[in-house]
Amino acid sequence: MKTDELKEKDSIDLEPFYQALEDDSKILEEALEILLEMVHFEPKSIKKLALFIKKDSRNLYKEIVELSKSNQGKGNTSSCCGGH
């Protein structure tokens, strides 16, 4: 009996949350910022997130790779110093 009660408490309806993320790009952006802040300080979490993106979100993975390539092409010069 107690396990059924716990399951009911733990099963939160996340559909309104997901719908809000889909409906409002600002909410989605804030949620992603929070997620990135959370994994920023946990190296294991960073690797898990990266592997998840690579495996399950191919379009996002490809976009990240393209952004990474374009940033590497710009070199390591600092924008404040003009590369001097």
pTM of the model: 0.48
Q: CA angle, corner 80, sides to 78 and 84, nearest 5?
A: 65
- Mean pLDDT of the chain, nearest integer: 78
**Spans of the chain below 70 pLDDT:** 1-11, 74-84
Buried b / exposed e over 23-55, threshold 16 CB at 10 Å, is eeeeeeeeeeeeeeeeeeeeeeeeeeeeeeeee
pLDDT for residue 75: 61
Note the pLDDT tens digit of each residue in 30-53.
Answer: 998 888 888 888 888 888 888 888
